[in-house]
Amino acid sequence: MHTLKYVCWSVLLWVGSATMATSQTADATEKEIERYRAMISDPMANPAFLNVDRGEALWVLARGSKNVSLQTCDLGEGPGKVEGAYAKLPHYFKDADKVLDLEQRLLWCMEKVQGLDIKDVIKRRFSGPGVVSDMEDLVAYVAQKSSGEKFSVSLSHPKEQEAYAVGEAMFFRRSAVMDFSCATCHSEDGKRIRLQGLPNLSKSGNAAQDTMGSWPTYRVSQSQMRTMQHRLWDCYRQMRMPAPDYASDGLTALTLYLTKNADGGNILVPSIKR
């Protein structure tokens, strides 16, 4: 009997020590990751600022059948005004009669304002070896003009309220072969997968603010700058769900839900991540 008690206590002590060691290792790992990010956070060390420069050139470039630039595009602050626009997106646009995120709005302006055939732009929506993405460059430029500001997303229009409700439903909807949802990974505090912390995005607060305020970002592991559209597309891929259509209303609704949960959070972009 004494031997059994000794074994049980030994097992409990071992489990407790292992749990403490794992926690300490996780904390140390997170500190090292943060130190690494700080080392490469300087704009001169962040390749995404090349995207910003290319995006600025695209913004003023006359294109399409109407031979005009995107300086005539209204992102919500008035034609051609980019400062602060990203901080209020997605939101309802009367001329389109729908809620649009930044990428949807840029495509709308390319097609309606510039008269540009957007098939090639959509084909190159995500950059890769030998492929430069106009959309990633433009998003980097526009978003960077809101860097240092705070998210302030509106739900005043009925279509904004509807989109938010759709986005919330999408966040919690489980589906596909793995029966996953966004909430599977992002609805609890303190979760982690391998070296990556999993922020709780199901509620307002620092986790949602820090996460949404750091997109778009340069992904070191992919050697490319990525937008929120790519992040969501990749999440669906990892959940083994059908790939969502680029710049779809569903992704905009999900982005609105996530961004509203980040309301009041600081925007610091383009950031840099692993």
Catalytic residues: 235
- The residue ranges of DSSP E strands in the chain, in sequence order, are 91-93, 98-100, 191-193, 196-198, 217-219, 224-226, 271-273
Tell me if residue 76 falls in helix, strand or coil: coil
How many CA atoms within 13 Å lie on the side-chain side of 53?
7
* Rounded Cα distance, 181 and 173, in Å: 5
* Rounded Cα distance, 133 and 127, in Å: 5
Count CB atoms within 10 A of the CB of residue 215.
23
Q: What angle do CA 266, 270, 274 make, to 5 degrees?
A: 105
Please name the residues in contact with 165: beta carbons below 8 A apart, sequence gap of 6 or more: none
Please name the residues in contact with 41: beta carbons below 8 A apart, sequence gap of 6 or more: 271, 272
Decide: 128 and 219 in contact? Cβ < 8 Å: no
